[in-house]
Structure 1
Amino acid sequence: MSFSNEVRKEICSDITDKDRRFACLYGMLLFCRHLGSERISFQSKSRVSADEFAELFRRVFGRELDCRLSESTSGKTLYIYDITEPELISEVFAKYRFSDGTRAFDDELVSTSSLGVFTAGVFLSCGSVNDPEKEYHLEFSVPYEPLAEVLVTLLGDIGVNARTTHRRGQNVVYIKGSESIEDTLTFIGAQQCTLELMNVKIYKDVRNKANRIANCDTANIDKVVAAAMKQQEDIRLIASTVGLDSLSEELREVAELRLDNSGMSLSEIGASLSEPISRSGVNHRFKKLARLADEIRNGGSFEK
């Protein structure tokens, strides 16, 4: 099941009393595909949303609706409920104070405590949310442009920064960012899905941190290996030209340890010397060896 349908199922499970059914159906009708005095048409690619619309309509208006199946442009099944009976349309318009030709949100119909349920109906009608494993994105494909601004304002009242755009002739209200999506899901009654999204975010943050640490460790290892190879190259040059016996005892000892132990860290080399020294002390001796090797490459003489 998609994450969007998980949200829809959780929303529907909480629409359990008369006021909540009224508010949720209001959101579904106001934001449905077509709302006019001759036809009301609710369409959805989600069977969950379609079944909930039929159930809420039956509970609010006492009428059974017939579902018609069609195929959307994307090849998915489209569940359609067309209401064309004039008397029933008039009853719907009267109950929800709809006006033909315009769609306006009547805040007097919905109490403040029911705004979340109303917005849940909007989500069931035209909303979707991406799988948080892939992307943080929630959107509403709003059929009537003025309603897009109504929805942006309503979401803004709970601190969610929603934006609008146009896509393929649709007015889209979209929300980016995990925290804003969490707030929206909680507002519309999908608390368990909110927790699921938060868990995914925590997992992704931990995984990304682990990857950064691993990448950093790999980079550090690569630097250490490259430095050790350069040190061995310098020492072999010195050995093949002037000989390691020409070096001071201090330099000869670290040189021989490096030749025999390419994987040793500077600290480990320092601890293995006859007279142990610090990491910085070992690094200082290797710098001396590097200068000697450079002098040999440049054809000059060197001091031990």
Structure 2
Amino acid sequence: MSFSNDVRHEISTSVNDKDRRFACLYGMLLFCRVLTIGHICFQSESLTSAELFSRLFEAVFKYKPVSSEHIRKNGAILHTCDVFGENAASVFQKYRLDESKRTIDSEIIATNSLGVFTAGIFLACGSVNDPSKEYHLEFACPEEEIALQLQTLLRDIGVTAKTVIRRGQNIVYIKGSESIEDTLTFIGAPQCTLELMNMKIYKDIRNKANRIANCDAANIDKVIKAAMKQIEDIKLIDSTIGIDTLNDELREVAQLRLDNIDMSLQEIGESLSEPISRSGVNHRFKKLAKLADDIRNGGCR
């Protein structure tokens, strides 16, 4: 399964109440292939996206779109959901759509639904590269005006996005791991965000390790994996109970690790306000790991 499909699957599991279904479907409709008062056509090579569109449409309008599929020349399966006639007209009425142009109606999307609305856009026309290869997320928008509106929406949440026309399509794209992390978190894919962060940490440490000429390869891998696990635990603690809730000893060692991903345990110990041995630092990281495991198991929230 591709990283894009991982994101789609995670999003689909979070669309689980009436308001979220309404907002997500709105994003999928506005950015679908055909949107006219007599015909709505949603198409995707992702079965997850097509099935979710059908389920959301049935939940909101009590009508199931006509589903079909065909095989493209490249061997990919294109999944299609069609809505015709009065059923399509009812969509225009409920969402106050304008057939002459696609535009995001901010009055329809409440502030707390903006993320799931944007998730619907991703499900309709978004993709993200495998982070082990390249940091790139994009939306292939159906019209120029709505592409610019999406760019503004992303800017309002602190994400810098750019636009380009590629093979006649209006593309809104995001570069840079931090911006992509923010976007994935905003649209409801925190586990995929964590996967991207772990990959970035691995790549950063690997690149630094490669510059150390006489370092044993097995020890490098051991250090990388240990540091990645420590940072993952610390970030989980920070996102749930907060680093500030830790005692002074654990908070200081946690912050040092976040700020210095390539530091050895000995270097961390020497950098503390009250220096301690390597084994002392390791003992503190074990306490942080136990706290993170307790959180994963449902405690300490």
Give 1:213 deviation, angstroms.
Answer: 1.5
Give 1:121 deviation, angstroms.
Answer: 0.1
2:11 matched residue in structure 1: 11
Change (3 A) 1:215 1:104: farther
Normalising by the residue count of structure 2, what TM-score does the alignment of the two structures yield? 0.70
1:157 matched residue in structure 2: 156
CA contact 2:24–2:117 (8 Å) conserved in 1? yes
Match of 1:213, SS? Answer: coil
CA contact 2:38–2:86 (8 Å) conserved in 1? no
Distance 2:207 2:114 in 1: 37
Distance 1:216 1:9 in 2: 40
1:207 matched residue in structure 2: 206
Distance 2:47 2:160 in 1: 29
Q: List gaps (5 residues or longer) in structure 2.
A: 217-301
Give 1:65 deviation, angstroms.
Answer: 2.0
Match of 2:212, SS? Answer: helix
- Number of residue equivalences: 216
Give 1:101 deviation, angstroms.
Answer: 2.2
List aligned pairs for 1:166-245, cutoff 5 A. Answer: 166-214=165-213
1:37 matched residue in structure 2: 37
Distance 1:139 1:74 in 2: 21
CA contact 2:66–2:83 (8 Å) conserved in 1? no
2:27 matched residue in structure 1: 27
**Residues 96-152 of structure 1: per-residue CA shift (max 9 Å, x gap):** 101112111100001011100000000000000000001000000001110100110
Change (3 A) 1:171 1:73: farther
Distance 1:171 1:5 in 2: 22
Distance 2:13 2:41 in 1: 24
Distance 1:210 1:164 in 2: 36
Give 1:64 deviation, angstroms.
Answer: 1.6
List aligned pairs for 1:79-118, cutoff 5 A. Answer: 79-84=79-84, 86-118=85-117
Change (3 A) 1:167 1:92: same
Distance 1:131 1:62 in 2: 37
CA contact 2:181–2:193 (8 Å) conserved in 1? yes
1:147 matched residue in structure 2: 146
1:61 matched residue in structure 2: 61
Taking only aligned residues, the RMSD between alpha carbons, in angstroms, comes to: 1.4
Q: List gaps (5 residues or longer) in structure 1.
A: 218-304
Distance 1:168 1:9 in 2: 28
Distance 1:2 1:54 in 2: 22
Match of 2:131, SS? Answer: coil
Q: What amino acid sits opposite 1:183 in the alignment?
A: D
Distance 1:72 1:35 in 2: 22
Q: Does 1:129 align with 2:128?
A: yes
Give 1:75 deviation, angstroms.
Answer: 3.2
Give 1:67 deviation, angstroms.
Answer: 1.2
Q: What amino acid sits opposite 2:173 in the alignment?
A: Y
Distance 1:214 1:4 in 2: 37
1:49 matched residue in structure 2: 49
Q: What amino acid sits opposite 1:69 in the alignment?
A: E
Give 1:71 deviation, angstroms.
Answer: 2.8
Q: What amino acid sits opposite 1:100 in the alignment?
A: E
Give 1:37 deviation, angstroms.
Answer: 1.6
Distance 1:209 1:72 in 2: 43
1:119 matched residue in structure 2: 118
Change (3 A) 1:31 1:215: farther
Give 1:215 deviation, angstroms.
Answer: 8.2
Give 1:87 deviation, angstroms.
Answer: 1.1
Match of 1:67, SS? Answer: strand
1:300 matched residue in structure 2: none
Sequence identity percentage: 63
Q: What amino acid sits opposite 1:4 in the alignment?
A: S
Distance 1:136 1:146 in 2: 26
